Every structure is written in structure tokens, then in C-alpha cells.
């Protein structure tokens, strides 16, 4: 039972990340009809917003280490700490949550520039060409980050207050041994909140309703004299922000490096397709489903029966679902089928 609860939480947590990335991807598919291979790079850029924020906050006085003579080794004391003492320390400690404030405008800007500067010229081009150009863009973004920050992962910790574990075992009456890191619980809650936010934006605002209408039938909406194009550009910006925030909040779990986007790229495509093209709830549901299944497949009890199952579970599930349900879990007929 303990193991079950823990693996469920692991799965939901992973699923939260998958769902957030897939959500943006499927939004862009659904609105602009563009296969965006640079979406993983947006996730990565979000994570590097957190890195940048941390670097800014820890700009330091450098005290040279007298024991080292052949090069400059120094102990770094952040200015914030020098000037503001414990208050400064606390601010630095909250670098990751604070970088949300940085990530929202930055990612929105990146999204808008990307859409206006490049993506819009590719609406009518073949999917193959969209793949080539966005893949090229992803490589370029990645290499720029590598030049600036190096290839090594960069540690970005969660605030001390939530660095420990929550005693969920006691809450649920399972005993004290069942604990779960606070930050992962926060990540789960955060991803649910963002998903809810995106859905209510599309569901309950007039703006969102027009966007949804445009997803269904772009031409008719256009004929009604609505500038659907501009709204779709905004949607691309929103998708970038969602991917970016997913990246920011993931940094304490996965120390970011320039290549992390590529690793999530394939996975997020699988999630989107399993969910069904053009379906937002499908993408979210598939994200959580695959996350949870991946966690359970990694349990030793399962691996003893099916060796190596944790290596392939995601793809196996994808194959089975796509063969049973032609358009994924909730896909619409005719979207990206040819």
C-alpha cells in the first residue's frame, strides 16, 4: 500500500510535467497547425530563466582563497547577503519561485517573437518543412544556451522551507515511513493550477471561446470579421509561457542543462498523440496516464515478471492505445491524419 501511494504520487508528478509540456504543444497544433519541434527548447529556456535569476541574485563579492596560487579561486558572497544579511539570504533561497516573475514576460516575448518572426511563415508549408525549421531552431537555441552556460547541469535548489519531505503517511494513516518531498507536491499542485488556468481561459473567457471556435473552423471565424490570426499568435505566446513555467518549476527536480528540452521533446509528442490530436483534455489525461504507468512499471515486482518493461512502457502503451483507438484517447477526426 505504501509503495502504491508513493508510486502514484511519483507518477502524478511526472505526469504533471508531461501534461504541461504536451498542453502547449497541442495548443499550437490545434490553433496554428504547426508541428513545433522547438517546443522542448522552450521548456529548456524556461529552466534557464531560473538559472539566470539565480545567477543574478547571487552576483557576488569575490573573496580570493589565499591557499590557491596558480589561478583565481574565490569564495563567493552574494551582494544581497552582504547588503541585507538574512533578508538577502532568504531572497536568494527563493530564487526558483521568484524566477516565475522573470519567466512569464521573457517566455511570452520569446513566444511572440518566434511566432511573428518565423512560425507564421510556415502555416501553409508542409509538416515536414515545419519539422525541419523548428528542429533547426531548437538546435540553434540549444547551442546558444550551451555557449552561455556550458554543458554541465547547473544546480538550482528549492527554497529551504520546502526542501524537506511532507509526512503524507501520517496524514493518510499509513505510518511515518511514507514521506514525499514538498517540492514535488508543490510541482503537482502547480501543474494542476496552470492546467486549470489554461482551460478556464479557453472555456470561460470570450477571447478563449473565439480561439476554440477558430480551432474548430478557422475560416468561418475569419469570415465573421474576427482577427483570429492575432489570437492564435497570443496562444503561441501562452504555450511558450506554459512550457517555460513547467521548466522553471522543474529545475529543483532536474538540474537543468542545455539538452534537457530534446529529452522531453519525443516524450511530449507521444503524450500529445496518445491523447489525440487537437484535444486539450486528451493531452492532459495522457500525460498523467503515461506518468503513472511509467512509475508502476518501474517497480521491482513488475520488472521481475517483465524485465526491461520500465524502458519501453511509454512506447508500448502508445502502440496499444493507437491500435485500439485510431485517433488516440480523445482525438478529433481529420486532424493531422494525412
Partner 1 sequence: MNSNFLRNDMVLMAVFTLVVLTMPIWLAPIGAGYPDLLQKIAIYGIFAIGFNILFGLTGYLSFGHAAFLGVGSYAAVWTFKLFSMNVVPAILFGVIVAGLFALFIGYVSLRRSGIYFSILTLAFAQMSYNLAYSVLTPITNGETGLQLSQGDARVLDHALGIAQSGLPTPSFFGMEILGWSGFYVCAVALIIAFFFALRIFRSPFGMALKAIKSNQNRMNYTGFNTRPYTLAAFVVSGMYAGLAGSLLAVTDPLAGAERMQWTASGEVVLMTILGGAGTLLGPLLGAGIIKYFENIFSAYNERVLHDVFSGLPNGLEQIVVSFTSLFVGEGWQLTLGMLFMLVVIFLPGGVMEGFRRLTKLFRRDGPQSPAGAAQPAE
Partner 2 sequence: MKDLTTSVNRRSLLKATAASGLVLATPTIFSRGAWAQNFANDPTNKSSVTLGFNVPQTGAYADEGADELRAYQLAVKHLNGEGDGGMLQTMKPLALKGNGVLGKKVEYVTGDTQTKSDAARSSAKRMVEKDGAIMITGGSSSGVAVAVQSLCQEMGIIFMAGLTHSNDTTGKDKRKYGFRHFFNAYMSGAALGPVLKEEMGTDRRAYHLTADYTWGWTQEESIKNTTEALGWETVATVRTPLGAGDFSQYITPVLNSGADVLILNHYGKDMVNSLTQAVQFGLKDKMVNGKKFEIIVPLFSRLMAQGAGDAIKGILGTTNWNWSLQDAASQAFVKSFGQEYGFPPSQAAHTCYVQTLLYADACERAGTFYPCEVIKALEDFEFDGMGNGPTLYRGADHQCFKSVLVVRGNENPSSQFDLLKVVKEVPAEAVTYDPTIFGGELGTCG
Per-residue x/- track, 268-297, partner 2 (CB under 8 A): --------------------------xx--
Determine which helix (DSSP H) or strand (DSSP E) holds 55, and give its type and residue range.
helix 39-57
> In which region does residue 125 sit, left (phi positive, over 0), alpha (psi from -120 to 50) or beta (all else)?
beta
Query: 3-state class of 235 per DSSP?
Result: helix
Rounded distance between C-alpha atoms, residue 160 and residue 90, angstroms: 9
Pairing of the two strands 60-64 and 74-78: antiparallel
Among residues 73, 43, 75, 46, the alpha carbon closest in space to that of 58 is found at 75
CB of 14 to partner 2, least distance (A): 6
CB of 39 to partner 2, least distance (A): 17
CB of 48 to partner 2, least distance (A): 15
CB of 159 to partner 2, least distance (A): 13
Under rule CB under 8 A, residue 132 binds partner 1 = yes
Residue 76 pairs in a beta bridge with 62
Return the number of the residue (198 or 297) whose C-beta is nearest partner 2.
Answer: 297
Under rule CB under 8 A, residue 319 binds partner 1 = yes
Under rule CB under 8 A, residue 302 binds partner 1 = no
Determine which helix (DSSP H) or strand (DSSP E) holds 166, and give its type and residue range.
strand 165-166
Q: Cβ-count burial of 171 within 10 angstroms (0-12 exposed, 13-18 middle, 19+ buried)?
A: exposed
CB of 186 to partner 1, least distance (A): 31
User: For partner 1, which residue of 273, 280, 289, 292 counts as binding (CB under 8 A)?
Assistant: 273
CB of 266 to partner 1, least distance (A): 5
CA dihedral 125, 25, 141, 238 (to 10 degrees): 110
The separation between the first and the last C-alpha atoms of the chain, rounded to the nearest angstrom, is 46
Under rule CB under 8 A, residue 129 binds partner 1 = yes
**Which partner in partner 2, partner 1, none is near 184 (CB below 5 to 8 A by kind)?**
partner 2
252 and 182 Cβ atoms separated by less than 8 Å:
no
Footprint on this chain of partner 1 (rule: CB under 8 A): 35, 118, 121, 125-129, 131-133, 135-140, 142-144, 147, 266, 269-270, 273-274, 277, 307-308, 311-312, 315-316, 318-319, 322-323, 326-328, 331, 336-338
Footprint on this chain of partner 2 (rule: CB under 8 A): 2-3, 6-7, 10-11, 13-14, 17, 65, 67-76, 146, 150-158, 163-165, 177-181, 183-184, 252-255, 257, 259-260, 263-264, 294-295, 298-300, 303, 310-311
Amino acid at each position: 500500500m505504501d509503495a502504491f501511494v508513493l508510486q502514484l504520487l511519483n507518477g502524478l508528478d511526472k505526469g504533471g510535467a508531461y501534461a504541461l509540456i504536451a498542453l502547449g504543444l497541442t495548443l499550437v497544433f490545434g490553433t496554428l497547425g504547426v508541428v513545433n519541434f522547438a517546443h522542448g527548447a522552450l521548456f529548456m529556456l524556461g529552466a534557464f530563466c531560473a538559472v539566470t535569476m539565480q545567477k543574478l541574485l547571487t552576483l557576488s563579492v569575490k573573496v580570493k582563497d589565499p591557499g590557491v596560487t596558480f589561478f583565481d579561486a574565490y569564495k563567493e558572497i552574494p551582494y544581497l547577503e552582504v547588503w541585507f544579511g538574512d533578508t538577502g539570504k532568504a531572497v536568494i533561497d527563493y530564487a526558483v519561485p521568484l524566477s516565475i516573475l522573470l519567466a512569464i514576460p521573457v517566455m511570452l516575448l520569446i513566444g511572440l517573437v518566434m511566432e511573428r518572426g518565423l512560425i507564421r511563415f510556415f502555416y501553409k508549408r508542409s509538416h515536414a518543412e515545419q519539422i525541419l525549421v523548428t528542429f533547426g531552431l531548437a538546435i540553434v537555441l540549444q547551442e546558444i544556451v550551451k555557449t552561455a552556460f556550458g554543458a554541465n547541469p547547473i544546480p538550482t535548489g528549492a527554497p529551504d522551507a520546502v526542501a524537506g519531505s511532507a509526512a503524507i503517511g501520517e496524514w493518510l494513516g499509513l505510518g511515518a515511513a511514507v514521506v514525499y518531498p514538498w517540492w514535488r507536491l508543490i510541482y503537482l499542485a502547480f501543474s494542476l493550477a496552470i492546467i486549470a488556468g489554461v482551460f478556464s481561459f479557453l472555456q470561460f473567457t470570450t477571447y478563449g471561446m473565439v480561439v476554440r471556435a477558430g480551432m474548430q473552423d478557422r475560416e468561418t471565424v475569419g469570415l465573421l470579421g474576427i482577427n483570429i490570426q492575432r489570437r492564435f499568435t497570443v496562444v503561441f505566446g501562452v504555450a511558450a509561457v506554459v512550457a517555460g513555467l513547467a521548466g522553471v518549476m522543474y529545475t529543483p527536480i532536474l538540474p537543468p542543462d542545455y539538452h534537457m528540452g530534446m529529452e522531453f521533446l519525443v516524450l511530449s509528442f507521444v503524450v500529445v498523440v496518445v491523447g489525440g490530436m487537437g484535444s486539450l483534455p486528451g493531452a492532459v489525461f495522457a500525460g498523467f496516464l503515461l506518468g503513472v504507468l511509467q512509475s508502476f512499471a518501474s517497480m521491482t515486482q513488475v520488472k521481475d515478471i517483465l524485465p526491461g518493461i520500465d524502458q519501453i512502457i511509454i512506447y508500448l502503451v502508445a502502440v496499444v492505445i493507437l491500435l485500439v483507438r485510431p485517433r488516440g484517447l480523445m482525438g478529433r477526426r481529420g486532424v493531422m491524419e494525412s
